[in-house]
């Protein structure tokens, strides 16, 4: 069972919140999408300690997620019309489409393929329409705009032919990521045709099928029982057909990996030959300390999963509340990374999925007496720039790539990338200084 605000308020769980918390929740869910699975409410949340409980914070929006003026605006609405306008205004303030994701929509013969994103040469993202929700919603979700009524734009498609035609003509694509929301929200009946499509002989160049999902955390039952059996048989058949199948599992905290259900689900997925790669943003108040990551990576490796990414939370939603400065994220990552064995060191991070590409924070250095961030692209719209270290002026408060002053010559490279897309760079220009440290 999955609860929205209405069904949650009628459930036995609502009695665990104070009147004030319920009142706040009613307001907050006008802005932020809310959904919680019974599994999360029953088996993961520590209700007694909910104020600090990471899972409660993961699913229940908190009063601090809105700024003071946004609260005032919301509460001052007298009519339904005024409230609608306040909600619309606040949602736009929350930057619903960060980092130019709309720029990634491919256009074929003048027709936008709105359910696809194609940013990096080898990888296509596909957003199946029936999978544009999740089994619960994360408070820090970077795709929250997919779940609310805001503008006409949603990444979604129920046209498998579009995906097929696109892939047929793009032999350079080796990876397809089914994403959302959560594609595993879809029933098997809706999901399987997409898997079948990727197994067609004309798409032999697609080697890797990835499924981005938080079902292991929010609803591990998806991999159990009869429906789970069918799902895993289907994925196993894709592996036997020669594809690599990866579940890109979003785990925010080690607590999500402790139940018998998730442990069993992981065993079954691995038995099907599916590789589980794990990833999460670093989020203030939920997982912004090294011990959480250390335990999480160690446990993931013990369970047979592969730690993959620590992300920086994107500049969207209640970013002011959740964001962790880049420097702190780097410290947390380094502290955790230095206390795990080599098997956990498959993880990369902290990484920002910024407009030009995925930017890794590799370190902090003194260069000619000035403190610098050392960065590199691990993916980029321009593949020439990948894996070339570059620097930016150290800023202990910066929380996102756009806030950094990138040094030359990478700065000019990025400028020209923006120009190619008819955009102006949104980061701060700085005086020229030598900076690509290695070719």
By the criterion CB under 6 A, which residues form the site for ligand SF4? 134, 137-138, 141, 143, 180-182, 214, 250
Q: CB of 34 within 8 A of CB of 56? A: no
Q: Nearest distance from residue 146's CB to ligand SF4, in Å?
A: 7
Q: Nearest distance from residue 119's CB to ligand SF4, in Å?
A: 17
Query: In Å, what is the CA distance from 63 to each residue of 20, 23, 197, 321?
Result: 10, 10, 45, 10
State which residue, 96 or 389, has the beta carbon closest to ligand SF4: 96
Q: Nearest distance from residue 33's CB to ligand SF4, in Å?
A: 8
Q: Nearest distance from residue 137's CB to ligand SF4, in Å?
A: 4
State which residue, 137 or 298, has the beta carbon closest to ligand SF4: 137
C-alpha–C-alpha distance, residues 342 and 277, integer Å: 16
Q: Nearest distance from residue 131's CB to ligand SF4, in Å?
A: 10
State which residue, 53 or 182, has the beta carbon closest to ligand SF4: 182
C-alpha–C-alpha distance, residues 103 and 155, integer Å: 12
Query: In Å, what is the CA distance from 305 to each residue of 59, 229, 247, 342?
Result: 24, 20, 10, 14
Q: Nearest distance from residue 188's CB to ligand SF4, in Å?
A: 20
State which residue, 134 or 305, has the beta carbon closest to ligand SF4: 134
State which residue, 143 or 156, has the beta carbon closest to ligand SF4: 143
User: Reduced to 3 states, what is the DSSP secondary structure of residue 360?
Assistant: strand
DSSP state of 239: H
State which residue, 133 or 237, has the beta carbon closest to ligand SF4: 133
User: Reduced to 3 states, what is the DSSP secondary structure of residue 427?
Assistant: coil
State which residue, 98 or 180, has the beta carbon closest to ligand SF4: 180
Q: CB of 392 within 8 A of CB of 375? A: yes
Helix, strand, coil content of the chain in percent (nearest 5): 45, 20, 35
- 240-254 core/surface letters (b: 16 or more CB in 10 A; e: else): eeebebbbbbbbbbb
Q: Nearest distance from residue 317's CB to ligand SF4, in Å?
A: 9
User: Reduced to 3 states, what is the DSSP secondary structure of residue 255?
Assistant: helix
| Tokens at 108, concatenated | 């074929």
C-alpha–C-alpha distance, residues 307 and 284, integer Å: 20
Q: Nearest distance from residue 179's CB to ligand SF4, in Å?
A: 8
Q: Nearest distance from residue 203's CB to ligand SF4, in Å?
A: 26
State which residue, 53 or 413, has the beta carbon closest to ligand SF4: 53
State which residue, 279 or 344, has the beta carbon closest to ligand SF4: 279
Q: Nearest distance from residue 5's CB to ligand SF4, in Å?
A: 15
| Tokens at 115, concatenated | 């359910």
Give Cβ neighbours of residue 265 (< 8 Å, ≥ 6 apart): 216, 220, 221, 222, 223, 224, 228
State which residue, 248 or 380, has the beta carbon closest to ligand SF4: 248
Q: What is the dihedral of CA 197, 200, 205, 210, to 10 degrees?
A: 30
Strand ranges of the sheet holding 244-250, from the earlier edge strand across to the other edge: 116-120, 123-126, 175-178, 208-213, 244-250, 275-282, 306-312, 348-353, 357-367, 370-380, 390-393
Q: CB of 57 within 8 A of CB of 22? A: no
User: Reduced to 3 states, what is the DSSP secondary structure of residue 284?
Assistant: coil
């Amino acid at each position: 069972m999955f609860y929205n605000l209405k069904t949650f308020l009628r459930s036995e769980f609502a009695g665990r919140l104070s009147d004030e918390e319920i009142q706040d929740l009613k307001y907050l869910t006008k802005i932020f999408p809310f959904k919680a699975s019974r599994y999360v409410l029953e088996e993961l949340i520590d209700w007694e300690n909910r104020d600090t409980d990471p899972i409660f914070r993961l699913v229940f929006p908190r009063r601090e997620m809105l700024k003071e003026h946004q609260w005032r605006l919301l509460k001052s609405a007298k009519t339904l019309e005024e409230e609608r306008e306040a909600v619309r205004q606040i949602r736009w303030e929350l930057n619903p489409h960060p980092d130019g994701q709309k720029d990634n929509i491919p256009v074929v013969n003048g027709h936008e393929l709105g359910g696809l994103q194609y940013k990096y040469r080898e990888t296509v993202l596909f957003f199946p329409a029936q999978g544009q929700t999740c089994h619960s919603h994360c408070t820090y979700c970077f795709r929250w705009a997919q779940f609310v009524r805001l503008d006409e734009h949603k990444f979604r498609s129920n046209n498998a032919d579009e995906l097929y035609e696109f892939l047929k003509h793009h032999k350079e694509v080796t990876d397809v990521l089914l994403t959302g929301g959560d594609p595993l929200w879809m029933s098997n009946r809706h999901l399987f045709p997409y898997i079948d499509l990727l197994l067609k002989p004309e798409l032999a160049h697609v080697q890797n099928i990835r499924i981005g999902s938080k079902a292991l955390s929010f609803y591990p039952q998806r991999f159990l029982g009869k429906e789970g059996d069918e799902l895993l048989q289907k994925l196993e058949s894709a592996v036997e057909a020669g594809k690599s199948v990866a579940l890109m599992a979003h785990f925010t905290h080690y607590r999500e990996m402790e139940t018998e259900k998730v442990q069993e689900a992981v065993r079954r997925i691995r038995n099907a030959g599916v590789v589980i790669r794990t990833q999460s943003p670093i989020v203030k108040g939920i997982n912004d300390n090294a011990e959480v990551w250390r335990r999480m990576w160690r446990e993931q490796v013990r369970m047979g999963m592969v730690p993959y990414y620590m992300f920086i939370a994107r500049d969207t939603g209640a970013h002011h509340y959740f964001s962790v400065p880049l420097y702190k994220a780097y410290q947390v990552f380094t502290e955790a990374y230095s206390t795990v064995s080599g098997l956990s060191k498959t993880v990369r991070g902290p990484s920002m999925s910024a407009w030009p590409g995925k930017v890794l924070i590799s370190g902090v250095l003194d260069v000619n007496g000035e403190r610098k961030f050392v960065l590199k692209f691990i993916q980029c719209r321009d593949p020439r720039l990948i894996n070339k270290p570059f620097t930016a002026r150290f800023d202990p408060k910066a929380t996102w790539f756009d806030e950094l002053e990138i040094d030359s010559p990478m700065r000019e490279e990025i400028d020209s990338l923006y120009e190619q897309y008819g955009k102006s760079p949104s980061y701060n220009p700085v005086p020229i200084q030598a900076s690509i440290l290695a070719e």
